[in-house]
């Protein structure tokens, strides 16, 4: 059965792949992007690929955008996928960068979800919201701790929504990607060096030595996008969906070991 699905952060990465895949499956997709040039590019690419879907502008930090989108569209499923990453040692990372990350990854995602939740409840109909969080929701990666904190926050919010909205037949799920080569992680690493200065910051440059190696072995994002699609369409999906399985096993091991880690 065809679903009406709105997806944020669809200009690139998982969002774009998932939007195209969902449209190909016959769903009515509203793919949203942060700025108008991205909207234009997305419309063009969809047309070139013979994909029918609606494309609209949605900056999740813009309350006017959110009010407009939630009023305009009636949907069955929201895939809250928009996100940004600012990297760096959290003991020195500028707070304005951390705030901007929380504005997108936490407050923007929650405000949009609240808008559609209100519609679901007012119209007495079921709904589903899928949040793209991260493996960083479940453990803290050094030098992207603030990003992980934002994903920890969104994960807690999602879990609260799951429990609180169960009486209204609104389902909540999270998708937690491992390290995939969408460019998102690479650009997140780039952000460090827009403010970090080895001459004035106390964190030694050698702290970032493992970054290039980690980024050199990223996974194909197609499989993660397929995971998001499957979770969105599955009426009985798990709440938490870490992908790939190797990342799930790794996170579970870290969580078990956390009980004996010393300060």
Q: How far apart are the first and last CA of the chain?
A: 52
CA-closest candidate to residue 10, choices 76, 67, 75, 78: 78
Look up residue 38 and give its two tokens: 């991205």
Taking each continuous run of H as one helix and of E as one strand, the counts in the chain are 10, 7
* Residue 88 pLDDT level (bands cut at 50, 70, 90): very high
- pLDDT attached to residue 93: 98
CA-closest candidate to residue 144, choices 202, 186, 197: 186
Distance CA 31, CA 219 (A): 24
- pLDDT attached to residue 247: 97
- pLDDT attached to residue 57: 98
Percent of the chain with pLDDT over 70: 100
How many beta carbons lie within 10 A of that of residue 260, not counting itself? 6
CA-closest candidate to residue 14, choices 82, 102, 108: 82
- pLDDT attached to residue 152: 98
CA-closest candidate to residue 18, choices 81, 73, 66: 81
Q: Average pLDDT of 198-218?
A: 95
DSSP 135-186: GGGTS--TT-HHHHHHHHHHHHHHHHHHHHHGGGTEEEEEEEE-SB-SSHHH
Q: Average pLDDT of 101-130?
A: 98
How many angstroms from the chain centroid is the CA of residue 81? 4
Pair 17, 9: CB distance under 8 Å = no
Q: What is the pTM of this model?
A: 0.97
Q: What is the pLDDT of residues 35-77, one digit of tens each?
A: 999 999 999 999 999 999 999 999 999 999 999 999 999 999 9
Describe the crossing of helices 63-72 and 109-122 by its angle, rounded to 10 degrees.
30
* Residue 228 pLDDT level (bands cut at 50, 70, 90): very high
* Residue 145 pLDDT level (bands cut at 50, 70, 90): very high
Distance CA 80, CA 152 (A): 15
Distance CA 147, CA 100 (A): 10
Residues in the chain: 263
User: Worst-scoring range by mean pLDDT, 15-19, 179-183, 199-203, 209-213?
Assistant: 209-213
Q: Average pLDDT of 71-84?
A: 98
Fold designation for 4-260? Rossmann fold (3.40.50)
Q: Average pLDDT of 160-170?
A: 98
CA-closest candidate to residue 6, choices 43, 62, 54: 54
Look up residue 153 and give its two tokens: 């926050």
- Report the SS3 class of residue 218: coil
- pLDDT attached to residue 201: 98
- pLDDT attached to residue 154: 98
Task: For the chain, give every domain's residue range.
Answer: 4-260
């Amino acid at each position: 059965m065809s679903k009406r699905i709105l997806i944020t952060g669809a200009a690139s990465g998982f969002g774009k792949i998932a939007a195209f895949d969902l449209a190909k499956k016959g769903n009515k997709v509203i793919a949203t992007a942060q700025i108008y040039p991205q909207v234009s590019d997305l419309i063009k690419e969809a047309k070139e690929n013979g994909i029918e879907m609606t494309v609209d502008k949605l900056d999740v930090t813009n309350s006017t955008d959110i009010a407009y989108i939630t009023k305009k569209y009636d949907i069955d499923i929201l895939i809250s996928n928009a996100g940004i990453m600012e990297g760096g040692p959290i003991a020195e990372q500028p707070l304005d960068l951390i705030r901007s990350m929380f504005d997108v990854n936490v407050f923007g995602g929650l405000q949009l979800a609240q808008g559609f939740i209100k519609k679901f409840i007012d119209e007495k109909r079921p709904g589903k919201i899928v949040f793209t969080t991260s493996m960083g929701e479940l453990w803290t990666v050094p030098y992207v701790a603030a990003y992980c904190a934002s994903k920890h926050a969104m994960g807690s919010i999602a879990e609260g929504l799951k429990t609180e909205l169960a009486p209204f037949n609104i389902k909540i799920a999270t998708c937690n990607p491992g390290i995939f080569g969408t460019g998102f992680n690479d650009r997140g690493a780039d952000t460090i060096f827009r403010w970090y200065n080895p001459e004035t910051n106390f964190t030694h440059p050698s702290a970032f030595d493992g970054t290039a190696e980690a980024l050199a072995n990223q996974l194909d994002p197609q499989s993660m996008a397929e995971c998001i699609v499957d979770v969105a369409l599955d009426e009985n999906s798990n709440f938490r969906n870490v992908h790939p399985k190797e990342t799930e096993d790794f996170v579970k091991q870290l969580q078990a070991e956390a009980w004996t880690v010393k300060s």
